[in-house]
């Protein structure tokens, strides 16, 4: 009996949509990262990208537990000397909610070329509208 290995030309990709309003950030994104990696499929192969596309809408309405909105800090570098800056997650969530979600998912994926390819299949929108209606995405069920 041989071990099954998926081939990248035989992978069938589905589209899923997630409404992030009133969902807890970490719990929602762990499910999203599993779908991006393809771990929900029986033909999962670690060295092949078998994951599906995920659309996240209403990213600005996501919830964080505890005092993370006021106390959790995101650091970033401007590129200039002494350019290390910090910003509270609550403020970043108000101005650019897509950055908070994509950063969190990126850190759940492998840190390789394969992980970068998986991240490209994630589409995040702050509002309820998205331009991917032609792909007929299915609702992804996420338990709170």
For 83-132, the pLDDT digits (tens) are: 999 999 999 999 999 999 999 999 999 999 999 999 999 999 999 999 99
- Give the domains, in start order, of the chain with CATH numbers: 14-63+96-139 (3.90.1180.10)
- 74-85 pLDDT per residue, tens: 999 999 999 999
User: pTM of the predicted model, to two decimals?
Assistant: 0.92
How would DSSP label each residue in the chain? -PPP---GGGPPP-EEEEE-TT-BHHHHHHHHHHHHHTTTSTT--TTS----EEEEE-GGG-B--TTHHHH-EEEEE-SSTT-EEEEEHHHHHHH-HHHHHHHHHHTTS-SSHHHHHHHTTEEE-SSS--S-GGG-PEEPP---
């Amino acid at each position: 009996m041989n071990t099954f290995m998926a081939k990248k030309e035989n992978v069938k990709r589905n589209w899923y949509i997630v409404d992030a309003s009133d969902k807890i950030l970490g719990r929602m994104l762990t499910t999203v990262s599993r779908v991006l990696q393809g771990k929900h499929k029986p033909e999962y192969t670690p060295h092949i990208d078998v994951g599906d596309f995920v659309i996240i809408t209403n990213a600005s309405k996501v919830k964080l537990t505890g005092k993370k909105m006021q106390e959790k800090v995101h650091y970033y570098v401007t590129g200039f000397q002494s350019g290390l800056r910090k910003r509270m997650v609550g403020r970043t969530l108000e101005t650019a909610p897509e950055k908070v979600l994509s950063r969190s998912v990126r850190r759940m994926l492998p840190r390789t070329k394969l992980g970068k390819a998986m991240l490209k299949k994630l589409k995040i929108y702050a509002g309820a509208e998205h331009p991917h209606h032609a792909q007929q995405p299915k609702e992804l069920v996420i338990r709170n």
